């Protein structure tokens, strides 16, 4: 297994992340990837550390992320100063086969990673976008159809919550967020959708695995028609004893059966029912 290792400059803990061979994090134009490690740091206080990691998986820099309510700054360590560094703009490009019908503009301004992810099919300025903004993240959206502002904001908050917890962000996952949102934004967001958003945003770092025995699946299939049963069964089959394929790799093997939004909705349902557990690729203390 590939791994990323580093020693925290603040608490001196050795931290390690195992990365299955077929899961890849991509470097950006700087030749680096941004990975965030949250751990119990000095004084048993939770700290988030932004790591710049190169393509050989060496940690090149570590920057503590300062929280607003965190009065104690750490002397001698650089804090991110987003205003001084120009944010790089990354376009969210969707598969040409899939038309985005309900969303004209979507932007995530990531103030920690210094990146702006943008999807724009308006090419116009001064449009009345719906915006949510906090210390670390700003999200903007413009919907094609008239959708209630309150409803759209709920969706944006769902994205924000899932995004804020993400260890690694890949533009590919954001393309899928856009597709999912395009399918769903005209409806109210429910709890399943919220979980689905988390699964999509973390799809690179999430490995779905079945936790129930074969014999227990029967009752789940009983109340479903055959197409649904087949879809469910195909997902469960791919998740059996799975410890190396993430959500996206599994979808790539099943994509002719259903759309991504359908797949992720079924997966979210299986997680809610306690049939599938999500293993997350994350840093842990080195033993």
Residues that bind Zn ion (CB under 5 A): 8, 10-11, 41
Q: Among residues 62 and 245, whose Cβ is nearest to Zn ion?
A: 62
Nearer of residues 10 and 27 to Zn ion, judged by Cβ: 10
Q: DSSP state, 216?
A: G
Q: Supply the minimum distance, in Å, between the C-beta of residue 91 and Zn ion.
A: 35
220-228 LR contacts (CB < 8 Å, sep 24+): 220/273, 220/275
- Residue 8 or 103: the one with the smaller Cβ distance to Zn ion is 8
Give the closest residue to 48 by CA, choosing from 60, 31, 35. Answer: 35
Report the nearest approach of Zn ion to the CB of residue 80 (Å).
16
CB atoms within 10 A of CB 118: 16
Residue 188 CA: distances (Å) to CA of 152, 164, 198: 8, 22, 17
For Zn ion, give the closer residue by CB, 48 or 131.
Answer: 48
Minimum distance, C-beta of residue 13 to Zn ion, in the bound complex (Å): 5
Considering the complex, state which of residue 74 and residue 116 has its C-beta at the smaller distance from Zn ion.
Answer: 74
- Minimum CB separation from Zn ion for residue 8, in Å? 3
Residue 42: CB minimum distance to Zn ion, A: 6
> Alpha-carbon torsion 173, 175, 180, 184, what sign?
positive
What are φ and ψ of residue 16, in 5° steps?
A: -140, 140
């Amino acid at each position: 297994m590939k791994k990323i290792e580093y020693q925290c400059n603040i608490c001196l803990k050795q931290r390690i992340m195992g990365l299955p061979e077929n899961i890849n994090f991509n470097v950006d134009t700087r030749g680096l990837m941004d990975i965030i490690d949250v751990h119990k740091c000095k004084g048993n206080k939770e700290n988030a550390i932004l790591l710049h990691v190169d393509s050989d998986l060496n940690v090149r820099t570590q920057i503590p992320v300062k929280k607003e309510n965190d009065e104690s700054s750490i002397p001698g360590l650089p804090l991110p100063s987003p205003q001084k560094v120009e944010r790089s703009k990354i376009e969210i490009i969707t598969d040409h086969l899939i038309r985005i019908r309900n969303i004209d503009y979507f932007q995530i301004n990531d103030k920690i990673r210094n990146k702006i992810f943008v999807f724009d099919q308006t090419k116009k300025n001064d449009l009345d976008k719906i915006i949510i903004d906090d210390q670390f993240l700003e999200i903007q959206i413009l919907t094609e159809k008239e959708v209630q502002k309150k409803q759209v904001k709920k969706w944006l908050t769902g994205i924000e919550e899932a995004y804020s917890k993400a260890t690694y962000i890949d533009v590919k996952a954001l393309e899928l967020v856009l597709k999912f949102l395009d399918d769903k934004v005209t409806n109210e967001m429910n709890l399943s959708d919220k979980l689905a958003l988390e699964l999509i945003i973390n799809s690179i770092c999430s490995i779905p695995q079945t936790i129930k025995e074969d014999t227990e699946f029967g009752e789940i299939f009983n109340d479903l028609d055959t197409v649904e049963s087949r879809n469910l069964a195909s997902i469960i089959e791919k998740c059996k004893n799975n410890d190396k394929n993430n959500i996206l790799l599994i979808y790539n093997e099943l994509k002719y059966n259903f759309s991504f939004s359908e797949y992720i909705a079924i997966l979210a349902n299986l997680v809610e029912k306690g049939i599938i557990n999500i293993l997350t690729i994350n840093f842990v203390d080195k033993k």
